[in-house]
Structure 1
Amino acid sequence: MEDTYGICVGGSVTITADAGFHTYSWSDTSMGQSMTVTEPGTYSVRVTEYHVDVLCSTTKTITVVASDKPTITSIETSDWTAYENMLTVMVGGGGIYEYSLDGEIYQSSNQFAGLPNGEYMVYVRDIYGCGVDHEDVYLLMYPKFFTPNGDSYNDTWGIKYYLNEPNMMVRIFDRQGKFIKQLTDTDPVWDGTFNGQLSPATDYWFTVKRQNGKEHRGHFSLKR
């Protein structure tokens, strides 16, 4: 028998004492081996065992805590690296929660570090089985260079997973700050031209504004 049990909102939990005793007396006047609880609080059970002319008894106190299904409110990302990205999961609800990136291996910390860029499914579960929530998240990355020479390899530049994150704005500028191109859902990459002319091989800068208001600035090279 555990010291602490969780009870989901609107639910109940059955507490079962260890077997092998002759009598059971619960704080709610139940007399069986088990007691069903519908409210959080502190409960107790007194168990008795008879040995010929010796009577042995002991009392155990149990705490029942309220718990609830988790709700992911936001996922904070620290990305733009190849393998040192981080996720921090923010959760609403009144339970005790665990976190996972595969739905199988869970941890108590709401932070995941040392992640490669890519797509992740974040899972949050209540430790007392009151429910699970999950949400997709993308750790973004961009090519450091591209080579628009028509060989079908690195011919365009764009933000990986750009189309999977709604309302993200990506704008490209030359070294003097002149606006070159804004990526869109229908045109999510840059082919290295401006007004139909080949852009020079040099460094270019970009800005990213995400739906959550976070901004990122970086640069990349066009090589010919």
Structure 2
Amino acid sequence: TSSANTGNQWYKDGVKITGETNATYTISQPGLYSVTVSNIGNCSASSVATSVSVFPNPIAYAGPDLLVHELDSARLQGSATVGTVFSYLWTPSIYLSNDTIAQPLVVRPKIDGYYTLYVTNENGCTNSDEVFVKVQKELIIPNAFSPNGDKINDTWEITGLDTYPFCTVEIFARSGQIIYKSFGYSKPWDGTYNGKPVPVGVYYYIINPKSGRGIRSGNVTLLR
């Protein structure tokens, strides 16, 4: 910064920087910098050249997005380059085993969310990156429902299945006939087959959540 508001000319390594005549100059490259100030009478004074070093920011990488079951743990894959010594800070710290290491565990998370990794190198330069953690819910599968039109348990609602968008659900009659099949479960079974109510009784299901989770099977009783 020059002490004069006007008449400034900035130099880098003894060479005039074209167009840089303000009182302040923002440096982006290393070198020897000086400023010459001239008044109306064409008198001038130059500053002593100052050597400036420019340190690069580190490159932060929070790792690939993560898919983790709410009862499990998974490791974030954070890392950094450009520099030799780094400090790390993850925010928010909720569900993390340690928020000051590059690759902490996400432990039994309950909600989806973004995590931001802040990296600082040995020169105090900082950068950041973020990663999304998607939580798969534990399935709660009812063993009965009553599609009788009273708006209470009229469909077979499977809690948590919405976190498995590629799941398949198959329902069988006692005879082995498939009476319901879906890819995803955006429209829960309403106790019908081909648009007509099925009889009261016990039906059998196979649920394949996919996304690395095991197949679930069992039976559900339909009441009216």
TM-score (norm 1): 0.51
Corresponding residue to 2:127 among 126, 130, 133: 130
Matches within 5 A, 1:1-224: 38=55, 67-79=58-70, 85-91=71-77, 93-94=79-80, 99=90, 103=92, 105=94, 107-108=98-99, 109-113=104-108, 115-116=109-110, 119-128=111-120, 129-135=126-132, 137-140=134-137, 141-145=139-143, 146-160=145-159, 162=161, 166=165, 168-174=166-172, 178-184=177-183, 188-195=187-194, 196-210=196-210, 212=211, 214-219=213-218, 221-224=220-223
Q: Given the superposition, is the C-alpha separation of residues 125 and 92 from structure 1 closer, same or farther in structure 2, using an over 3 Å criterion?
A: closer
Normalized per residue, the structure richer in strand is: 1
Query: For 2:148, what is the secondary structure of its paired residue?
Result: coil
Change (3 A) 1:187 1:122: closer
- Aligned CA distance change for structure 1 residues 125 and 206 (closer, same or farther; 3 Å): same
Provide the secondary structure at the position in 2 that maps to 1:183: strand
The superposition leaves residues 34-83 of structure 1 with CA deviations (integer Å, 9 ceiling, x where unpaired) of: x96737xxxxxxxxxxxxxxxxxxxxxxxxxx95322442424235xxxx
> How has the CA–CA distance of structure 1 residues 142 and 172 changed in structure 2, closer, same or farther, with 3 Å as cutoff?
farther
What is the RMSD computed on CA atoms of the aligned residues? 3.9
Structure 2: gaps spanning 5 or more residues: 1-27, 29-51, 82-86, 121-125
Percent identical: 18
- Larger-Rg structure: 2
Q: Do the aligned residues in 2 keep the contact of 1:76 with 1:87 (CA within 8 Å)? A: no
For residue 155 of structure 1, report the CA deviation from its aligned partner. 1.4
Following TM superposition, by how much is the alpha carbon of 1:161 offset from its aligned partner in structure 2, in angstroms? 5.6
The number of aligned residues is: 155
Are the aligned partners of 2:168 and 2:181 in contact in 1 as well (CA < 8 Å)? yes
The Cα shift of 1:150 comes to 1.8
Q: 1:209 Cα deviation (Å)? A: 4.0
Equivalent position amino acid for 1:131 in 2: S
Instruction: For residue 121 of structure 1, report the CA deviation from its aligned partner.
Output: 0.8
Distance 1:221 1:177 in 2: 14
1:155-175: per-residue Cα shift (whole Å, max 9, x none)? 112444655654x13222336
Query: CA deviation digits over 1:171-210, x for unaligned, max 9?
Result: 2233665433222469521112223232443253222243
Q: What CA distance in whole angstroms lies between the structure 2 residues aligned with 1:178 and 1:94?
A: 56
Structure 1 residues without counterparts, runs of 5 or longer? 1-10, 12-34, 40-65, 80-84
1-structure distance, mates of 2:133, 2:175: 37
